[in-house]
Amino acid sequence: MAREFQRGHKAKISDLTPGTDLYVGVQIAGPGLAIDISCFGLDVNEQLSDDRYFVFFNQPKSPEESIQQLGTQAGDTESFRVTLDRIPAGIHKLSFAASIDGAGQMSQIGPGYIRIVAGGEEVVRYSFSGSEFSTERALMIGDFYLKDVWRFAAVGQGFDGGLAALLQNFGGEVAEEEQPAPQAQAPAAAPGFAPPPQAAAPAPSFGAPAQAQPPAPAPSFGAPPQAPAPAQAPAPAQVPAPAPYQQPVHAAPTMAAPMGAPLAPPAPAPYGQVPPPAPAPAPYGQQPQPSYGQVPGQQQPPYGQQPGFGQQPQGYGQPATAVPAAGAGLAAALQPYKEAPTGARWTPQNQQLMRVDLAMGGQAVLARQGSMVLYQGKVDFSYKGAGFAGRVVGNATGQEMQLMRCAGRGQVFLAEEGAHLHAIELQGDAICVSAENVLAFDESLQHEVRRIEGHGIPGGALFTMQFQGTGTVIVKTHGVPVVLPVTPTTFADSNAIVAWSAASQVIISSQVRLRRNAYPGHSGETVNLQFRGAPGNFIVVQPYEV
């Protein structure tokens, strides 16, 4: 079943489909409107540094044919073939946009969408309508962008100018003959909206298998089956957004693994104040400085205090307790990497590896599928479904988690892509974490999708997961995060925020209006999250944007 994206949702292409030869279909139309659909191949600075990667009706493909415009087919107003593994290294983003040629504005369009099809099967769709816009004459619909791996983002951003202004915004140049009055361009513009001359040739090769399909391996790329009637391409059912959750006020949770045999830590600084600079790391074999999460043999300071994040993180393989000097040999070389037992349920083995002892507490753990790297003892792994309603809500909000259930009497080691792992222990309170940043949690915790209202974007909203109760949540971050107290002027990038106290009030703040985006050179920091709340509330931000 295809995933339904809302504006602002992002995902790795590899999470949607293993294929890299993709069909992109766009449906957008309005009474009396002539609409151009094009693709901009942008460099790392989001500029059109090479005009050959502006794919539109007069230039239907890039030089190496990694981006091809296919024309109208399968119920789509315009379609493209994108071969991700053939895109040159200099291209970091593919921006799909629509612009009105002539009179009209985007508020006049009907229901539309952009969808991705792999091997003839639709994997994701982002739907929009004219009610989300006003006087804009162009629309940036969706992006493929390269950040370690290729990803897809549902943009839905209106733009005041037409195609020429959109091209200039990306650093392109408009030819002089395009500047005269529209009367002189009208005869030339009319043929431009017919399907490209080459579209009829490649279309059959990308169609779904027909009656006389040759017995060959399934192609990696396939456009959806050609529909003889509109009934073959129905619009997706609109899933109503969940009602805003009425959040009670809770105290800030404690971010720490369960207590081991604590040593006396230095006196913590008052909440919100920056502690003295951390001392240099101890020499090898001596007790290191505490790192984020609980280091075995030490007590974690209360969550929200700055020293846990400001101190030098513990290096991978550095022993958590003092190791006596040993001679040369294999045993001495491997001594720093031995398991760190603490007698606690959750124990960080290092910054990227977390161990849970299922025998302690007697309850199961829900973890992200594929996150187990090692286990000892008798452990049963089973699929944990979200149910029909859970799948619908997860697809509609982008907060879907593919989970497995770990139960039994043994130890399970969890990790994912070398991300830093942090244990957040809840004691009857609540915390909000994006589903993408959750690795595992105790089954006893209650979790649900929470809606963040978007007052700065027409029809916009974001979603997050809220965890509440007694238990531990394992949060993963890129790099060492920072915890900041919430003040009236606290803003965070929605792509860098990891978690925040559930009692905080969150508002989507737009500092750059849509009209200003018509001018090139804007900062790109158009939408942020503003946090408000009483003293004691906090946010957790990672040094990385998803």
253 three-state secondary structure:
coil
How does pLDDT run across 234-276, given as a tens digit for each residue? 444 454 554 544 444 444 454 444 444 444 455 555 544 555 5
Distance linking the first and last C-alpha atoms of the chain = 25
Q: Are strands 121-128 and 3-5 parallel, antiparallel or unpaired?
A: parallel
Q: Are strands 538-541 and 497-501 parallel, antiparallel or unpaired?
A: antiparallel
The one-letter amino acid at 450: R
Is the pTM above the cut of 0.85?
A: no
How does pLDDT run across 404-448, given as a tens digit for each residue? 999 998 899 999 999 999 999 998 889 999 888 999 999 999 888
- C-alpha distances in Å from residue 372, one per residue of 27, 369, 417, 462, 517: 41, 8, 11, 30, 45
Question: Could you tell me which residues are beta bridge partners of residue 48?
Answer: none
Helix H or strand E encompassing 163: helix 163-169
By C-alpha distance, which of 165, 166, 38, 29 is closest to 104?
A: 29
The one-letter amino acid at 278: A
Are 344 and 385 in contact, with CB atoms under 8 Å apart? Answer: no
How does pLDDT run across 371-401, given as a tens digit for each residue? 999 999 999 999 887 665 666 556 655 667 7
User: What is the C-alpha to C-alpha distance for residues 434 and 452, in angstroms, rounded to an integer?
Assistant: 12
- Mean pLDDT for the stretch of residues 183-212: 44
Phi/psi for 26 (5° steps) reads -125, 130
Query: Is 446 buried (19+), middle (13-18) or exposed (0-12) by CB count in 10 A?
Result: exposed
> Which pLDDT score is estimated for 176?
52
The one-letter amino acid at 464: T
